[in-house]
Structures are given as structure tokens and as C-alpha cells.
Amino acid sequence: MLGVGVEAVQADNATSNLPTDSEAARATALQASLGTSEYTPAIVVIDRDGAALTDADRAAVGRAVEALAPLASDGQRVVPVFADDGKAAFVAVPLSTSISEEDLAGPVGDIRSTAAQDLPDGLRAQVTGGPAFVVDLSKVFDGADVRLLITTAGVVALLLLVTYRSPWLWLVPLTVVGVADQVAAKGLAIGTHVFGFPTDGAVTGITSVLVFGAGTNYALLVIARYREELRRHDDRYEAMRIALDNAAPAILASSGTVVLALLCLGFADNPSSRSIGFGGAIGIVTAVVYALVVLPAAMTVFGRRLFWPFVPRVGQAEPTRDGFWSKVAAVVTARPARVSLVGVAVLAVLALPLAGVSTGLSDTEQFRDTPESVTGQEVLAEHFPAGASQPTVVIATADRADAVTEAVAATDGVQRIQPAGKGEGRAVLSVVLDAGPGTQQAFGTVTAVRTAAHAADPTSLVGGADADSLDAKAAAVHDQRLVIPLILAVVLVVLLLLLRSVVAAVLLVATVVATFAASLGASWWAFTHWFGFPALDLSVPLLSFLFLVALGVDYNIFLTTRAKEEAAQHDTKQAISTALAVTGGVITSAGVLLAAVFTVLGVLPLITLTQIGVIVGFGVLLDTLLVRSVLVPALVSLLGRRFWWPGALSRSHDR
């Protein structure tokens, strides 16, 4: 009963991230239909932190059983189990699997408070098991929307204030993007209801970060171009019209790239990835609509005085033409070969740690903090058989159950196998492994169990927590191999249509891929040496690649479209130099802001979101400060008019 119950809740949570046709998901669905997983236990682990239990402790365990019995669903039995080493005991309290994840907090909280009562000094009781893990995971997102919103808005406000050095200009884009975030949240809720996509705190959190990050980026570009036109036109409405005529194509191209890349997640096996793609696309569409429609209207209402104390006047010189980025452009374009070599070398060095990247976090490794369910699980694994808390489940036809039992029992790594229920011509078997949950040894044993079970009964199914993790890893590998090429194809096609140049499109895609490799490598080094993370979560490589490539190519689009505009009148080297001088400040501000917004994901104590935030944040900074500002201009200068091949600009002669 213990093993099957734990598996039931954890599988219910885990299989939401599994393809429905995976063996583990089919095993869970079949087990539920057989009615053999009606209850799942919250496990109360009682110990003295390594010391032997005293007679008084054992009496306390007995009292705990009596106190906990009324909390079991439907009068199920509550039975204590003592460890062979005499140092721990556990009490399994069965809870109905019909209790929703949202409603589990009450029963688990009651069990925790009851178990902690009337214990001798030094004796501790911790609640773990499937229901406790679900509750502790949900607590990560308690108030997360508000906390994330406040932190993100604060970061954006600070960076906008520093960027514009105006006491009130920053309020306009922040307000517009804040409203867009709320509209996107409503759109996500409606879309979820209509299309049935599963959502959780991670989906809503990532969507919010995308709206704030991308929306503010687009706002910065619109405002920068508007301010530029205010120095040329007295009529602010005319200035905004021209600014939008010039800025909108690049913004629409970049946002369209991001939306199409996000929709590529619709081809993923992982339902959670599909939800993130769906939510993110809604967020980006909302952000670009508000940046190109609502923001211009708000800016023109207030007029030039909104920029006080740095009010742009007609005839003023453009400071960007001879400012810091103009000097950077001069240095880069003067020695393009040397600069290109150094830039590529830096990216290569940062990418070196990629060789040691490991993926796959167990249930106990998902949290940055250590909740009670994790410490309880560790105590349980220390004093009881390693796989006892999360046994593997084998479902076989009733007439082949004995053969399957014999074959599985003979498999290396299996400690014991026992019946766990039957119905509709099927037998459910609970298999305890020697290996701890979520370990490579456990995954190897599950694979061996499947081989043995399928040989004895080809229709048998093997599920359980470790099987879920194993199938989730296979789905993640499948998604990476399918979706990453799709994302690259989408980005390449958009760049081809926008720039009309094969060389430019391929080169820019290559630079963003190199940026991702460098960011992932450097972040992995930081995770292992500074953060102490044992591995990347399975979803992190794909999602980080998506966000970094789709958002990172934005800056290259903004830079190269401006260079293309300038190349109509100047040679390629002068065009890229002018483009960098003019766009350098605003794109750098946008990049720093986007990196900071993604880093805000770290306020949530879930390792997955922290990893995505660090990888994307560092990658955006790397792209903004090195790749877009130094490497791309150097490569463009080195190639000259060949950069635009086979477009019309490639046939003009650089002077």
C-alpha cells in the first residue's frame, strides 16, 4: 500500500509533464482505471537524527498512530513500521487520490501539526511522500505572482529611471507594460479554459517575465526613435508617425520571430513545454500591441515635456553620432579580423564546460530551499530500503502475473516484488529497488525491469516515479532534437525575408547559437562551483535555447536593419559603424533590462526557474555587450558587401 500510494500522487503530478503515449503515463492511467490507486499515503517519518529510538520514543509512535488514524481517508488503517536499525519509524496515513492538488494542503497540514504534538525532547516527526511533495511544491508559488510582479516592476522602474534620467518619463512605459502584463494574464486564463492547456506557476511566471522584458525592450526602441525624430520635426505627432514607420518593421519582425519560435514548442512531447509556448506567444503578442499602439498614444499626449530635463529640440545634434558607441564602432571596424578572432575565442572558452553538462533533477533536488518533504524523504531513504518510498509499479495480465513476478524478481537491482492489487484481468505489482529514487542506478534498473517484464508479458506496463523520470528524460531529448532545429529554421527564414541576404541570415543565426553555447557552458560552471546544483532540469536546455535565440536575435535584427538602411547611402563598414553608434545605447539598455528581468526568476525557490533565469540573463548580457556590440560589427566589416549576398546591396561597391 505504501509504495503504490506514493507513486499515485507523484505520478499524477509527474505525468502532466509526460507524453500521454509514454509507457509510464499509460501505466498510471491503467492503474487509475483499475481502482488500485484509490489512496496515497502521507508518510510521517519519526527519528532522533541518527540516534536509536528509546522505549519512550516507541510509545510516542504508538500515540501518533492513534492521533493520526482519524485523519486517514475513509477509515483506512494507519500502521507504524520500524526500521531494522532501530533508528527510525514511519507511519503511512492514506489519503484519497480524489483529493485535488489544490485541496491537499489542508489534510497534509493537519497531519503535520498532529504528528508534531506530544513528542519527547529530541524526537522529530517529518511528513513526506507524494501529498507532501505536492503541497511543498505548490508553496513555492504561493504569492509568486505578486512577488514576481513587484520585483520585476521594481527592476524595470529602476533601469528605466537610470536610462532616461527623467523623474516621470519612466512611468509611461512601465505603466503600459504593466497593463499589458495583466491583459496577457487574462488572455492566458481564457486560452487555458478554451484550449485546455495545463498551466502552473512556472507558466504564468515565465509569461509575465516575457511581457515585461520584451514589452519594455520594444518600448525603449520606440521611445529612442521618437526622441530622434523630435530633433528633426516640430510636430510631435509627425515625429511619432515617422518613428513608428522606421521602428515598427524591426519590432514586428523581432516579435514575430519570438512568437513563431514559441509556437514551435507546440510540437514538443512535454505538455508543460507546450503550455509555456502557448502562454509566451500570448504574452509577446500582447506586449507588441501595447508597445506599438498604446505607448505611442500615451507618449504623444504628454509631448516633449515628458523628456524633461533632457527635452529634445529641433536642430539639436544627435549625441549618439559621436558618443561612446561611435568610438566603439571606430575601434571594431578598424581591426575587424583581430576583433573577430578575440570574440570567437571568448565564446569558445566560455562554452568549454558544456562537455560536463548533466540533466535530470530528482524530486528532492527541485528546491533551492529544503522543505520538510525533502528532509523527510532523506531520512526515509537512510533507514529503510532505498526504493521503498517510491517503488516501481508493474501491471501485467492476470494469467502472466506469476511469470512476470519471477522475471522481475530475478532482475539485478530489485530488492523485492509483491502484489499490490488486481482487477479487470490485470495484476498490479509493487517493485522495491535497491537504488535510491531518481538516481542513474534506479533508471538502469527500471530499464532492466521493463525488459524482463515485456519478455514475460508483452502487454505489461512499467510505471512509477522513476519510470516517470526516465520517460520524461526521453521526451526531453526528443523535444530538443525536434524543436531546436525548428526554432533555428524559423529564425533563419525570418532573417532571410527581412534582410534578403543568405550570408547575413546564416551569420546571425550562427552568432546566437554560439552565444547560447557560451552562456550554457559558463552557467553550468557557475551552477556546479557556486550554486551547488547537481544537474540541469530536463526542460532547461530547450527553454533556455528558445528564449536566448529568439530574444537574442532581436538585437541583431535591430542592428542589421539599421545597417541595411544606412548601407543604401554608405559603404558596409560605414553603415555598420553608424548603426552601432545610433542603436548601441538603446539596445544595450534593452539588453541589460531584459537580462535583469529574467534574473528575477531567481526570486522563486525552484531550481528550474533559477537555472533558466541565469542562463538567459547571462546570455542576453553576453549577446548585448560582446556579440552584438563587437563580434557582429567586426564580422560585417570583414565581409563588406558580401555580407548582403545575394541581395542588391551586395552588388554595390564599398568605397
Residue 583 has a pLDDT of 84
**Is 195's pLDDT higher than 50?**
yes
346 closest CA partner among 626, 635, 548 = 626
Poorest-pLDDT segment among 56-70, 305-319, 423-437, 461-475: 305-319
What tens digit of pLDDT does each residue of 334-356 get?
999 999 999 999 999 999 999 88
Compute the average pLDDT of residues 254-278: 90
Residue 144 has a pLDDT of 65
Residue 298 has a pLDDT of 93
Strands 426-433 and 414-423: antiparallel
Compute the average pLDDT of residues 92-107: 85
Intrachain domains 146-310 and 322-356+500-655 with the same fold = yes
What tens digit of pLDDT does each residue of 351-407 get?
999 988 988 877 677 777 788 888 898 898 888 876 776 789 999 999 999 999 999
97 within 8 A of 38, measured Cβ to Cβ: yes
296 closest CA partner among 332, 339, 246, 362 = 246
Residue 321 has a pLDDT of 58
**Is 267's pLDDT higher than 60?**
yes
d(CA 477, CA 471): 10
Q: Which residues contact 615 (CB under 8 A, 6 or more apart)?
A: 519, 520, 523, 540, 544, 548
The DSSP code for 631 is I
Poorest-pLDDT segment among 346-355, 428-437, 460-469, 622-631: 428-437
pLDDT category of residue 15 using cuts at 50, 70 and 90: very low
Residue 2 has a pLDDT of 38
412 closest CA partner among 380, 368, 445 = 445
d(CA 293, CA 19): 40
**Is 548's pLDDT higher than 80?**
yes
Task: Give helix 336-351 / helix 324-334 axis angle, nearest 10°.
Answer: 100
Question: Who wins on pLDDT, 388 or 291?
Answer: 291
Compute the average pLDDT of residues 644-648: 80
Poorest-pLDDT segment among 13-17, 78-82, 470-474: 13-17
Q: What is the dihedral of CA 108, 111, 117, 119, to 10 degrees?
A: -100
The DSSP code for 139 is H
Residue 5 has a pLDDT of 35
Compute the average pLDDT of residues 450-454: 95
Cell numbers placing 66? 492513534
At the fourth CATH level, the homologous superfamily of domain 146-310 is: Multidrug efflux transporter AcrB transmembrane domain (1.20.1640.10)
Residue 320 has a pLDDT of 54
Calculate the alpha carbon distances from 249 to 226, 490, 498, 511 in Å.
Answer: 15, 17, 9, 22
**Is 449's pLDDT higher than 70?**
yes
Strands 461-464 and 426-433: unpaired
At residue 293's C-alpha, the angle toward residues 290 and 296, to 5°, is 105
What tens digit of pLDDT does each residue of 489-518 get?
999 998 898 888 999 999 999 999 999 999
Question: Who wins on pLDDT, 373 or 201?
Answer: 373
**Is 655's pLDDT higher than 90?**
no
The CATH class that applies to domain 322-356+500-655 reads mainly alpha
**Is 628's pLDDT higher than 50?**
yes
What tens digit of pLDDT does each residue of 116-125 get?
998 999 999 9
* Residue carrying C-alpha cell 524595470: 156
Residue 385 has a pLDDT of 79
pLDDT category of residue 10 using cuts at 50, 70 and 90: very low
Residue 8 has a pLDDT of 35
202 within 8 A of 137, measured Cβ to Cβ: no
pTM exceeding 0.95: no
Calculate the alpha carbon distances from 332 to 351, 585, 637 in Å.
Answer: 23, 16, 8
**Is 37's pLDDT higher than 70?**
no
What is the largest distance, in Å, between two alpha-carbon atoms of the chain? Answer: 94
Calculate the alpha carbon distances from 101 to 13, 108, 299 in Å.
Answer: 9, 11, 46
Strands 414-423 and 392-397: unpaired
Residue 431 has a pLDDT of 92
**Whole-number mean pLDDT of the chain?**
86
Compute the average pLDDT of residues 22-45: 83
What tens digit of pLDDT does each residue of 591-607 get?
888 888 888 877 777 78
Highest mean pLDDT among 183-192, 379-388, 447-456, 540-549: 447-456
Residue 438 has a pLDDT of 76
203 closest CA partner among 154, 136, 271, 263 = 271
Cell numbers placing 236? 510631435
**Is 14's pLDDT higher than 70?**
no
Question: Who wins on pLDDT, 254 or 626?
Answer: 626
Which residue pairs from 447-455 have beta carbons closer than 8 angstroms and sit at least 24 positions apart in sequence? 448/411, 448/412, 448/413, 449/392, 449/394, 449/408, 449/411, 449/414, 450/23, 452/404, 452/407, 452/408, 452/410, 452/411, 453/394, 453/396, 453/404, 453/407, 453/408, 455/407
The residues pairing with 79 across neighbouring beta strands, listed in sequence order, are 92
Cell numbers placing 350? 566560455
Amino acid found at 403: A
> What are the residue boundaries of the structural domains of the chain, listed by start?
146-310, 322-356+500-655
